[in-house]
């Protein structure tokens, strides 16, 4: 700064331009979250008595803990399904011509931009008692009575996987595009088979993309309120609906705040684990 004030760097702009958004975030994002934290540390709804009663309530209540557990598990299942289905799409993308590439990208992209309610509604039509799956199986004579697919864990996982698939596939396409295709040929010409090359060369080198995709998919899957509630129905309760019920229906804001904070911390923990893995994998991939 002090060395050459005359030759100002023309390629960058002052930090002052970030001030409006920073201020906006301070007032409307950071302050509300701090207030959430503040209220969660009170034992009464009026916010007069400090204490960790809300957290104790959550952490000693088997029901609340099971809701948290099933939410985190749901995220893991959806992420796994997205990875298994998304990776081949990214792989195929790298092997087809530019026209087909555009087609694939647009197929992947469309759900991302289509309303979540619409996408979820589509799964109600597919999984319902008179839906495609049941109608097909019945007309083929495989089953007599309709299978219960809606309001099941299976239904929620498959619907969420479809809804969140773009978040997994896009980073994978980017990561696979960065791998030097010569490595593939080299591995094959040195005698490694396609499967071995895939698991020993392609997969490790694409780890940054895998981890980026998993982070986004996981975070989105566990907070996907609409899909969880419409496909899961009343019997299955996950953290977002639990939070909403406590806040809106029961008006128990301190407990809802504690649920929010615990949920926030759980998401942050998962994201930081993924980020750490990502940093390690970059070192691995670059070596």
Partner 1 sequence: MNGRKRTLEAISFEFVMTVIAIIALIIIIAPSLVVLIVSFTSGFSLRFPPPGYSLRWYAELWDAWQLHFAAKNSLIVALWATCLSIVLGVAAALAISRSQKLSARLLDSLFMSPLVLPALAFGLAALMLFSLVGLPVSPLTLVIGHTVVCVPYVVRNTVAALAQLEPTLLESSAVLGASRLYTFRRIVLPLIRPGIIAGAFIAFMSSFDNVPVSLFLRDAATDMLPIRMWQDLEGKLDVTIAALSSVLIIATVVLVAVMERVTGLSRRLTN
Contacts with partner 1 in 154-193 (CB under 8 A)?
Answer: 158, 161-162, 165, 170, 173-174, 177, 188, 193
Question: Residue 206, interface with partner 1 (CB under 8 A)?
Answer: no
**Closer to partner 1 by Cβ: residue 108 or 237:** 108
Count of residues for the chain?
287
Question: Residue 257, interface with partner 1 (CB under 8 A)?
Answer: yes
**Closer to partner 1 by Cβ: residue 194 or 287:** 194
Cα maximum dimension of the chain: 84
175 contacts 208 by C-beta, under 8 angstroms: yes
Cα 5 to its chain centre, rounded Å, is 46
Measured from the CB of residue 196, what is the shortest distance to partner 1 in angstroms?
A: 9
Residue with token string 């759980």: 266
Measured from the CB of residue 4, what is the shortest distance to partner 1 in angstroms?
A: 14
**Closer to partner 1 by Cβ: residue 62 or 193:** 193
Q: Which region, judged by CB under 8 A, interacts with partner 1, from 54-62, 72-80, 238-246, 276-284?
A: 238-246
Measured from the CB of residue 215, what is the shortest distance to partner 1 in angstroms?
A: 8
Taking CB under 8 A as the rule, which mask of x and - marks residues 66-95 in contact with partner 1?
------------------xxx-xx-xx---
Cα(168)–Cα(159) distance, rounded to whole angstroms?
A: 15
Question: Residue 267, interface with partner 1 (CB under 8 A)?
Answer: yes
Neighbouring CB atoms inside 10 A of 19's CB total 10
89 contacts 209 by C-beta, under 8 angstroms: no
For residue 175, give the 3-state DSSP assignment. helix
State which H helix or E strand residue 115 sits in: none
């Amino acid at each position: 700064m002090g060395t050459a004030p005359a030759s100002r760097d023309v390629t960058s702009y002052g930090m002052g331009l970030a001030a409006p958004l920073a201020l906006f975030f301070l007032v409307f994002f950071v302050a509300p979250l701090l207030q959430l934290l503040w209220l969660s540390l009170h034992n009464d709804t009026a916010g007069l008595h400090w204490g960790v009663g809300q957290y104790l309530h959550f952490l000693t209540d088997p029901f609340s803990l099971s809701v948290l557990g099933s939410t985190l598990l749901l995220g893991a299942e959806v992420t796994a399904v997205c990875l298994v289905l998304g990776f081949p799409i990214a792989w195929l993308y790298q092997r087809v011509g530019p026209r087909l590439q555009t087609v694939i990208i647009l197929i992947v992209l469309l759900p991302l931009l289509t309303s979540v309610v619409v996408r979820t509604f589509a799964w109600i039509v597919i999984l319902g008692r008179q839906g495609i799956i049941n109608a097909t199986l019945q007309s083929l004579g495989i089953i007599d009575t309709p299978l219960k697919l809606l309001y099941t864990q299976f239904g929620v996982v498959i619907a969420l996987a479809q809804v969140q698939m773009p978040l997994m596939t896009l980073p994978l396409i980017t990561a696979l595009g960065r791998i030097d295709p010569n490595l593939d040929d080299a591995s094959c010409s040195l005698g490694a088979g396609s499967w071995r090359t895939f698991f020993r060369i392609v997969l490790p080198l694409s780890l940054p993309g895998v981890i980026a995709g998993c982070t986004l998919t996981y975070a989105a899957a566990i907070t996907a309120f609409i899909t969880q509630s419409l496909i899961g129905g009343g019997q299955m309760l996950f953290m977002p609906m639990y939070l909403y019920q406590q806040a809106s229906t029961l008006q128990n804001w301190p407990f809802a705040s504690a649920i929010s904070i615990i949920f926030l911390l759980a998401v942050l923990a998962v994201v930081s684990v993924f980020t750490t893995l990502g940093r390690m994998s970059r070192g691995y991939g670059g070596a």
